[in-house]
Amino acid sequence: MTTSAVTVLGWRHLWGKITLVKEGELALVRTWDGRMRVLGRGLYLSSTVGPTAVRKHNSNEDYMQLGIFHVVHVVPGKVGLATHNGKPLLLTEGHHMINDALFKFERSADLTDEYIHVSTAHIITVPTDKIGLAIIAGEGHILSPGRHIFNDPVFQFIGFKDSTEPHIGLHSKHRLYVPKGQIALVAVDGQPHMLENGVYCFDAAAFVYKQTADAKTPYLFIHTLHRMYLPEGQIALVMYDGRGELIETPGVHVIDSPTFELKGFEKSTVEFMTVGECSRVLVKAGHVGKLNISGSNELLPPGVHEYRETQNVSYEGSSPRTCVFSLRNGFLNCLNNVHVCLSS
């Protein structure tokens, strides 16, 4: 063999050991002794001792692989999802070089994705106007806005609900949103509650959500708890503990009693009302009222008259006063028509 032939063969062998990495490329190299290298743009002479494996990739690829060697590029705003021997790995922003036969890259996901999972790992991002629902080991969880990370083999993601829903429940967990001007009626472990404006969370196996109603609803109740809203000019007729009561003060009245019973509402301008042994008489200006109590008549001047714990009360109405001028006596006598009839 001539010298020139040897030289040509030598150059061919040498050229086979040269790796050219162009602009925008990366090369993964495994040398004859198992070492791994990542090469950027340039011209490289690999080892002449033994075989060398080379694989080129576009430099902007998220994932590159040569055998058991892996390069993962996680760009800002993403998370890398992978497993190692079946267990989840979450890769943060940056470059990750892993030389492991048990590593497996799954994909990259946007951090803004509402639900991300790989193997037993779960990432839930709850939007600001939502509430997340999940079950872990048979227990319900209500997730507030933000990012939540779980690693559980029996995790169940249920979904999202609007944060303005009046009641969100999952197993024993309950969340209530009560808008301004509303009242929520609930019972927790048998105890009744009336909740005003706000957000409430409960963990109770025995939970009852009855309703959410306007705070100006005349009458609301749950179990033994009763609430009345009285505007100006109204009177509530109620019974509790075996007694009748007239509630006249405007505003909110809350009563906790197993014997409470609302009999109705009346306008304060009604002349006569009674509940149980409690009675109220309104005699208008310029009138005289006639009341019968256990068979005995009583004349009432203008104004409000209330009788409590009095039996057999009946109101026979009112009549205008009649004014009679007596010349002989020289004074004005104001007599009621009914009174005149009774005296005649």
**Pair (286, 340) in one structural domain:** yes
Q: What is the pLDDT of residue 337?
A: 40
pLDDT, tens digit, 9 for 90 and up, residues 67-104: 888 889 899 999 999 999 999 999 999 989 888 999 99
Q: Are residues 275 and 238 in the same domain?
A: no
Q: Is residue 251 scored above 70 in pLDDT? A: yes
Query: Does residue 178 register a pLDDT over 50?
Result: yes
Residue 279 lies in a domain: yes
Q: How many separate domains does the chain show?
A: 3
Domain that holds residue 200: 169-214
Q: Which pLDDT value is given to residue 32?
A: 64
- Together in a domain, 246 and 285: no
Among 270, 289, 307, where does a domain finish? 270
Residues 292 and 321 in one domain: yes
Task: Verify that 277 and 320 share a domain, yes or no.
Answer: yes
Which tens digits make up the pLDDT trace of 150-165? Answer: 999 999 999 999 999 9
283, with CB counted inside 10 A (0-12, 13-18, 19+), is buried
| Residue 46, in any domain of the structure | no
Position 217: which residue type?
A: T
Looking at residue 319, its pLDDT comes to 77
Residue 78 domain-assigned?
Answer: no
Q: What are the pLDDT digits (tens) for 137-150?
A: 889 999 999 999 99
1 within some domain: no
Condensed to tens digits (0 to 9), the pLDDT of residues 307-335 reads 886 667 788 777 786 544 343 343 334 44
Among candidate residues 137, 136, 138, 111, the one with its CA nearest the CA of residue 125: 111
The total of other beta-carbon atoms located within 10 Å of residue 7's CB is: 10
Domain stops at, among 234, 251, 270: 270
- pTM of the entire structure? 0.72
**288/341 same-domain check:** yes
Residue 87 placed within a domain? no
Q: In this structure, which amino acid lies at residue 24?
A: G
- DSSP symbols for 289-334: EEEEETTEEEEE-SEEEEEES--SEEEEEEEEEEEEEETTTTEEEE
Same domain for 334 and 279 = yes
Domain assignment present for residue 162? The answer is no
Q: Looking at the structure, do residues 208 and 225 belong to the same domain, yes or no? A: no
> What does the alpha-carbon distance between residue 217 and residue 182 come to, in Å, rounded to a whole number?
9
Does residue 28 fall inside a structural domain? no
Provide the pLDDT for residue 93: 93
